[in-house]
């Protein structure tokens, strides 16, 4: 299978937004009813993806098969919380691969590219976040040597 990974470009924003919406729909249906899949089509979502594609602290790659975009990974260098003794964190903020292309090593390759980039940026740590019920994503990140760090709990006031 001829899979290619390349840097995302400004012209890729719309397709990244479409794929991000697919991710949000999956997350909303399976793990988190509070996610708004329509956010991905809002101007602020476009601004966010643009900043990750064109900004100095941003990272954005896409995966293609026969010139069709089948996945993306977006992240960046973020400042750590003030109470930590770490200054910068390379954070993989969102990643999606079309279902037919999962389990073929593409996600690992994209993620390893991100980690290499974070190291070159001299980030001190790497971070990811996953919905608590998304055991597939959690196992993927653990496979890449990530360990549990914190746990966020929420509740409704209803």
How many beta carbons lie within 10 A of that of residue 79, not counting itself?
11
Which CATH code fits 3-143?
3.40.630.30
* Nearest by Cα to 128 from 118, 99, 4, 34: 118
- What is the C-alpha to C-alpha distance for residues 120 and 114, in angstroms, rounded to an integer? 10
What mean pLDDT do residues 94-109 have? 95
pLDDT tens readout for residues 33-83: 999 999 999 999 999 999 999 999 999 999 999 989 999 999 999 988 888
**pLDDT classification of 102: cutoffs 50, 70, 90:** very high
> What pLDDT is stored for residue 114 in this prediction?
98
Q: Where are the domains of the chain?
A: 3-143
């Amino acid at each position: 299978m001829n899979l290619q990974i390349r840097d995302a470009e400004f012209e890729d924003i719309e397709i990244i937004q479409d794929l991000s919406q697919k991710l949000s729909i999956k997350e909303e249906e399976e793990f988190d009813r509070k996610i708004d899949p329509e956010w991905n089509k809002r101007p602020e979502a476009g601004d966010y993806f643009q900043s990750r594609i064109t900004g100095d602290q941003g990272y954005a790659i896409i995966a293609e098969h026969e010139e069709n975009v089948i996945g993306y990974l977006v992240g960046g260098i973020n400042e750590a919380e003030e109470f930590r003794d770490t200054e910068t964190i390379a954070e993989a903020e969102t990643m999606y691969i079309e279902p037919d292309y999962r389990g073929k090593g593409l996600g690992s390759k994209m993620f390893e590219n991100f980690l290499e980039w974070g190291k070159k940026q001299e980030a001190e740590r790497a971070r990811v976040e996953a919905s608590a019920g998304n055991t597939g994503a959690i196992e993927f990140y653990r496979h890449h040597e990530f360990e549990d760090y914190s746990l966020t709990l929420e509740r409704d006031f209803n």
